[in-house]
Structure 1
Amino acid sequence: MTTANKLGRRDALKWLGLGGMALSLVGCQSVNAADTIKMGVTGRPRTLDPGRATDALSSRLNRLLYQALIDFNDASQPQPALADWQMLTSTHYQFTLRQPLARFHHDQPLHAQDVVATYQRVLDADFGSPHRGNLRNIASVELDNELQVSFKLHQPDPLFVSRLSLGILPADLIAKGHNFGQSPVGSGPMRFISSNEQGVVLQRQDGIEVQFIVVTDALVRVLKLVRGELDLIQNDLSPELVAYCQQHPALKVAWQAGSNFAYIGMNMSDPLLANPLLRQAIAMGIDRQAIVNAMFKGQARLAGALLPPEHWAGHGGLTGVAYDPDQAAAFISQLRQQQAVPSSGLLPLSFKTSSDPTRIRIATLYQAQLRAVGIDLRIQSYDWGTFYSDIVQGRFQLFSLAWVGIKSPDIFDYVFASHALPPSGANRGRYQSERADELIIKAGQSSDLATQAYYYRALQAHLADDLPVIPLWYENQYVVSAQNILGYQLHSDGRYDSLVQVTKNFTKSA
C-alpha cells in the first residue's frame, strides 16, 4: 500500500503542505525505471476501437494507436496524414496513400483496402457506430487500387475531408471480427500492450512503455506524482492543487492556451427559459472574469462562441455577454411585471452539474452571483453517468458542460439544428430556430470555405444574441510533471501526442 493510500484526506493535505506544513517534506525522490513513463488519468478509456470511441480519453489514446487519412493544423483545417487527396468532382474524392506505406502493429502494410474496410465497417448500420451519422453523406467507398480509394457522396460537402479522421484498421482483422476495443491493432506511433482496471499500457517505437494509470482522486494523483509513482498529470486538478504543484521543488507546471469550450446549457422547452429576457438576465448576472480569476487564476480566456477565434470559421468579434448585474435585475423585474415569472421572492431555477469538486465550487459562485439579481439557483450534483444521462434525456433546466477537441464547424448542425434532438444529435437544450437552421443549411451548401466561414460567423453571432447556451470560457491546458520530464508539448485540445517523444533525465537529486 502506498503512502497516499494510507493517509486520510486531511492528513494527506497536511503531508502535501496544503495544511501549513513546509514544502520541503519530500527529500530524495524515487527514480522510475528508464523504460517507463507513467501518466495519471482520472479513469479508463471507454473503448480503444476508433469506430466506437467518443469520450475524450479514448480519442486521445486512439490518436497514439492509430493513424487517420487526415489531421488538422492549428486553424483546424484538414491536412494530409496517411494520404493526399483530390476532389475529382463535387461528389467524388480520391485519396492516395503516402509512401513509404505505414505498417500495422501486426506487421502488415497499410493499403487502400484497409481504408475501404474501415469506413465500410462504420457505415454498416448493424455495427452501430456513433460516427455513422457524421458520415451519412457517403454513398460509397470504393477500392481503386492498392494505393487509392474513392469516396463518392450523395451531395456536395465542402467539409467532407475534415470528417475523415477515423483511425484506420487492418482489413484482415476486420474480416475476422477482431475486438479492437479490447486488443487494438493500428499503425500509430504506439502499440497496445495491455489494459485492465488499473489502466492502459502502450509502447513507443523506441521501446519505452507509456502507462496510463487510473487514479480517480485528484489529491492522490498529486501525492503519487510527488512520490515518483507518476511522472506527469494533464489537467483535472483543483486550483489549490495546481498552485501547490507550482510551488513544489520536485514538480513543474506548464500551460498552453486551450480551445475546449465551457458553457451553460439551458432547456429551451422549459416555459421560463424559453423567454429570452430570462436567458439574458442569467448571462448578465454571471461575472465570468471573476470566476476565471478565482477558480483558474486567470488561466482561461472568455468565450463568445463554440469555435475559438483562431479557428478558420471562428468569430473574433464575439466575447460573450458582459457582466451587468443591474440590467440583469431590471430584466427580472420586467419579467415579474409581465407575469412571466413569480411575482415575489427569488426566482427558483435548477442547475445540474457533475460531482467533481471544482465544478461544484464553480456552481456555488454562479449561485451567489445570481442570487444578487433575484435568482435562486438550486444546485444538484450527480456522479458523471447519472448527470450525463439526465442531460441527454432533457431532464434539466440549467447545466454546465464543455465541448472538447472540436475541429469541424459541422458541430453546429449536431448541436443547434432543429433536427438534432437526442438521440439523433446533441441538441440537448431542444433549441428550435428557423434562422439558425437557415444559416446551418447555407453554410453546408456553400461551395468554398470562405463562404462557409461567412455563414458560420453569422450563425455564431445569431446564437450569441439568442443564447440557447451561455458561452463561458476556454480553459487553458496544463501539465504537471516531475522535474526530470523533458520535452512535453501541450496542445490546445488536450491531446497526448507529445508522449511519443517526451524523455526523462535520470540524474538523481536529493
Structure 2
Amino acid sequence: MVFLAVRRARGTAAGMMAVRRGGRQRAARALAGLSVACLLGGCAPQQPSGPVLRVGLAQPVLDVDPRQAADAASARLGRLLYSRLVELDADYRPRPAAADWQQLDPLRWRFTLRTPRPRFGDGTPLSAADVVATYRAVLGEDGTLSPLRAELGALRTVRAVNDGHIDFILDRPDALFPARLTLGIVRARCAGPPVAGERPCHYDGSGPFALQRLSGSTVRLRRRHDGLAVVFEVVPDPTVRVLKLLRGELDLLQNDLPPELLTYLERQSAVRLLRGPGNSYHYLGFNLSDPLAGDLRLRRAVAHGIDRAALIRHLLGGAARPAGSVLPPGHYAAAALPAHRHDPALARRLLAEAGLDRPRLTYKTSTDPVRVRIATAIQGQLAQVGIRLRVQSQEWGSFFGDVRAGEFQLYSLAWVGVTQPDVLRHLFHSASLPPAGANRGRFVSRRVDALLDAAAAAGPARQVALYRQVQRRVHARLPYVPLWYEDNVAVVRAGVRGYALRPDGAWDALEFTDPPDATNTH
C-alpha cells in the first residue's frame, strides 16, 4: 500500500485553486522540458513498422474474459474482442446484434442466431453451444464465481435447442430481459479449465478485433477487417501521456486528463480535441459495516460538506454535471434527484447530533493524479466542517481489490456504461453482496429489497415507478454520495480519422479509426 502525503488545503476555494495552480505549474515545467528536448532533436516521432494506432490508458486492463470483467477498461476492451447477442440503442432499448428473439411464455425467451454468424479466429462460426457455455459460466453452473451474475436478473438456466437456437429460462417474469444479454460470447471450450498446450481462450474471440499480446502495461490487438494493429499502452501519469502524444508515440487519449493539460492541448496544432456528454457516474462509496461510515448522520455530513460546484469548476474545468442518481441523464427510469446541497452549517450540526468530534476517515483512491487531486480537495472541504480525511492512494489493482473485498471506509470510483434500471439491484440489493454482485458498501434495506423484487416481476410502466422509488430511498440513505457525470474528452493526433465519442466512453469507434500513417481506406 502506498500512502500519499498531502498538504491540507486552507479554505475551500483557496485550497482547490492552490491544487489547480500546482498542477498547472507541474504541467508547464514538464512541457517546457519537452520543448527543450525538441530543440535538441529529441522529439522525432518513433516510426513503427507498418500502420499502428496507439492508445494511451490511465489504468491497466485487469481481465479480458467478459464473464469476469468488472472494471471499465476491461469491459471496454471486451467489447472489441467478443460478439454479443444484443446491443443497446442510444435510448437504452435493446436491438438485435448476433441474435433475434421472441418470448415463448412468461418464463422462456428463445434467441435465434442471425446469419452470417460472427466467426472466431480459426473461422469457426459462433454457435448455440458457445452461448450456453458463456451464460452458464456467469450463472455459476461450472463452479465459476462471476461478479456479473446479478446483472442477469431472473435467469435460471440456458439450453441449446439446436445449433442456432437457445432458450433462456427464468425463475420469474422479466419484461426487460433481452436488454441484459449484452455479454461477450466466449468459445464453449473456454468454460472449462485451461488445457495444457492450447492457446489461451482470451486470444480467440469473434469480435471486430483479435488479441495478439497481453502484458501488464501493453495490450496489442489486430483489427480483423484490415489487419491494422491497435496497441493500448498503460501510462498512469497524465503529463507523460500528453508528452507521448506530442512526440508521436501515442495517437489517441481519452479522459483522465486534468483541465490545465486540456487547455494546453487546445492550443496545439498537432492534435485536436473531441468533447461530448458522458454518462460515467462518479461517487463516494461508504462501508456501512464500519462503525463510523455506517452512521447515516456522518454520511449526511459528508454529503453536505462537499461543494460539488466548486470541484467541477476548479478541478474539472466545468466539464461535468452534478449527479443525483446512478442512472444516466435522460434515462427513461431516472428519478429527478438533486445533488445534496453544500451546507457546512448543517454538516457541523449533524456531527454534533451524532456526538462525533472531528471524526477521522480513511479515503481510498487510485494513484491517478486527477483522482488524487479531487480527493485532496474533498479533504480540504471536509476539514472545514470538522471531518478529518486521510487520503490513501494505491496502485489500481490493489485499490480495486480492496474495494471489491470491502476493505475501506470511504472510496471514490465511477460506474460507466450503466444502461438498465436493474443495475440498482446489482448495486443495492442485499442479495448482491460480493461476490454475488456489486453491493460493495454492504447496504441492507428490507424496503429497498422489496421494491427491487417487485420491480423485477412488474411490467415496464410499473417498473419505472418502482425503480424511481428505489432511487429516492437510496438517495436518502446515502450508501453513495453522488458527485457528477463527467464529460468525455478525447485528444487525437492530427490525421487520425474516424474516431467518435460515445456517452458510455466505450472504444467501439476504433473499428473504423485509422492513424495518420495508415494507407487503408474505408
Same fold (TM over 0.5): yes
| Correspondence for 2:180 | 163
Q: Please, which moves more after superposition, 383-392 or 96-105?
A: 383-392
Structure 2 residue 371 is matched with structure 1 residue 359: yes
Structure 2 residue 101 is matched with structure 1 residue 85: yes
Structure 2 residue 305 is matched with structure 1 residue 294: no
> Is the alpha carbon distance of 1:102 and 1:294 closer, same or farther for their aligned partners in structure 2, counting shifts above 3 Å?
same
Deviation at 1:465, TM superposition (A): 1.7
Deviation at 1:99, TM superposition (A): 1.9
| Correspondence for 1:7 | none
| Correspondence for 1:105 | 121
Structure 2 residue 292 is matched with structure 1 residue 277: no
Q: Please, which moves more after superposition, 22-31 or 135-144?
A: 22-31
Q: Please, which moves more after superposition, 265-274 or 146-155?
A: 265-274
**CA deviation profile, 1:93-126 (whole Å, cap 9, x unmatched):** 0011122222222112223333223333444332
**CA deviation profile, 1:131-172 (whole Å, cap 9, x unmatched):** 345447433322223322111122222232222222223346
Deviation at 1:405, TM superposition (A): 1.7
Residues 56-135 of structure 1: pairs in structure 2 closer than 5 A:
56-123=72-139, 124-135=141-152
Structure 2 residue 238 is matched with structure 1 residue 218: yes
Structure 2 residue 147 is matched with structure 1 residue 147: no
Structure 2 residue 485 is matched with structure 1 residue 474: yes
| Correspondence for 1:311 | 331
Q: Please, which moves more after superposition, 296-305 or 246-255?
A: 246-255
The answer on whether the counterparts of 2:334 and 2:468 sit within 8 Å (CA) in structure 1 is yes
| Correspondence for 1:406 | 418
Structure 2 residue 264 is matched with structure 1 residue 244: yes
Q: For 2:39 and 2:507, how far apart are their aligned partners in 1?
A: 31
Q: For 1:352 and 1:408, how far apart are their aligned partners in 2?
A: 28
Query: Which residue identity is paired with 1:194?
Result: R
Structure 2 residue 57 is matched with structure 1 residue 46: no
> Is the alpha carbon distance of 1:23 and 1:245 closer, same or farther for their aligned partners in structure 2, counting shifts above 3 Å?
farther
Query: Which residue identity is paired with 1:299?
Result: A
Q: Match of 2:427, SS?
A: helix
Q: For 1:76 and 1:41, how far apart are their aligned partners in 2?
A: 27
Deviation at 1:505, TM superposition (A): 4.2
The answer on whether the counterparts of 2:138 and 2:145 sit within 8 Å (CA) in structure 1 is yes
The answer on whether the counterparts of 1:13 and 1:19 sit within 8 Å (CA) in structure 2 is no
Q: Match of 1:320, SS?
A: coil
The answer on whether the counterparts of 1:201 and 1:209 sit within 8 Å (CA) in structure 2 is yes
Structure 2 residue 387 is matched with structure 1 residue 372: no
> Is the alpha carbon distance of 1:55 and 1:281 closer, same or farther for their aligned partners in structure 2, counting shifts above 3 Å?
closer
Q: For 2:407 and 2:234, how far apart are their aligned partners in 1?
A: 30
Q: For 1:359 and 1:432, how far apart are their aligned partners in 2?
A: 28
Q: For 1:24 and 1:416, how far apart are their aligned partners in 2?
A: 56
Residues 161-240 of structure 1: pairs in structure 2 closer than 5 A:
161-171=178-188, 177=194, 183-204=202-223, 205-240=225-260
Deviation at 1:28, TM superposition (A): 7.1
For structure 1, which runs of at least 5 residues remain unmatched after alignment? 1-9
Deviation at 1:43, TM superposition (A): 4.6
Q: Please, which moves more after superposition, 230-239 or 212-221?
A: 212-221
The answer on whether the counterparts of 1:45 and 1:57 sit within 8 Å (CA) in structure 2 is yes
**CA deviation profile, 1:16-63 (whole Å, cap 9, x unmatched):** 238998999998766666622111223542232222322222221221
The answer on whether the counterparts of 2:324 and 2:338 sit within 8 Å (CA) in structure 1 is yes
Query: Which residue identity is paired with 2:247?
Result: R
Deviation at 1:435, TM superposition (A): 2.0
The answer on whether the counterparts of 2:81 and 2:211 sit within 8 Å (CA) in structure 1 is yes
Query: Which residue identity is paired with 1:347?
Result: P
> Is the alpha carbon distance of 1:89 and 1:362 closer, same or farther for their aligned partners in structure 2, counting shifts above 3 Å?
same
> Is the alpha carbon distance of 1:265 and 1:131 closer, same or farther for their aligned partners in structure 2, counting shifts above 3 Å?
closer
Q: Please, which moves more after superposition, 17-26 or 348-357?
A: 17-26
The answer on whether the counterparts of 1:231 and 1:485 sit within 8 Å (CA) in structure 2 is yes
Q: For 1:380 and 1:198, how far apart are their aligned partners in 2?
A: 23
The answer on whether the counterparts of 1:254 and 1:480 sit within 8 Å (CA) in structure 2 is yes
For structure 2, which runs of at least 5 residues remain unmatched after alignment? 1-24
Structure 2 residue 356 is matched with structure 1 residue 341: yes
- RMSD value, Cα: 2.9
Count of residue correspondences = 489
Q: For 1:428 and 1:155, how far apart are their aligned partners in 2?
A: 26
Structure 2 residue 274 is matched with structure 1 residue 257: no
Query: Which residue identity is paired with 2:285?
Result: G
| Correspondence for 1:5 | none
Q: Match of 2:455, SS?
A: helix
> Is the alpha carbon distance of 1:262 and 1:322 closer, same or farther for their aligned partners in structure 2, counting shifts above 3 Å?
same
**CA deviation profile, 1:372-398 (whole Å, cap 9, x unmatched):** 222222323333333334333433332
The answer on whether the counterparts of 1:202 and 1:209 sit within 8 Å (CA) in structure 2 is yes
Q: Match of 1:331, SS?
A: helix
The answer on whether the counterparts of 1:254 and 1:479 sit within 8 Å (CA) in structure 2 is yes
> Is the alpha carbon distance of 1:287 and 1:153 closer, same or farther for their aligned partners in structure 2, counting shifts above 3 Å?
same
> Is the alpha carbon distance of 1:19 and 1:281 closer, same or farther for their aligned partners in structure 2, counting shifts above 3 Å?
farther
| Correspondence for 2:17 | none
Query: Which residue identity is paired with 1:431?
Result: F
Query: Which residue identity is paired with 1:320?
Result: A
> Is the alpha carbon distance of 1:181 and 1:313 closer, same or farther for their aligned partners in structure 2, counting shifts above 3 Å?
farther
Q: For 1:349 and 1:118, how far apart are their aligned partners in 2?
A: 41
The answer on whether the counterparts of 1:414 and 1:420 sit within 8 Å (CA) in structure 2 is yes
Q: For 2:301 and 2:171, how far apart are their aligned partners in 1?
A: 44
Deviation at 1:257, TM superposition (A): 1.0
The answer on whether the counterparts of 2:142 and 2:191 sit within 8 Å (CA) in structure 1 is no
Q: For 1:173 and 1:208, how far apart are their aligned partners in 2?
A: 26
> Is the alpha carbon distance of 1:24 and 1:491 closer, same or farther for their aligned partners in structure 2, counting shifts above 3 Å?
farther
TM-score w.r.t. length of structure 2: 0.85
> Is the alpha carbon distance of 1:197 and 1:287 closer, same or farther for their aligned partners in structure 2, counting shifts above 3 Å?
closer
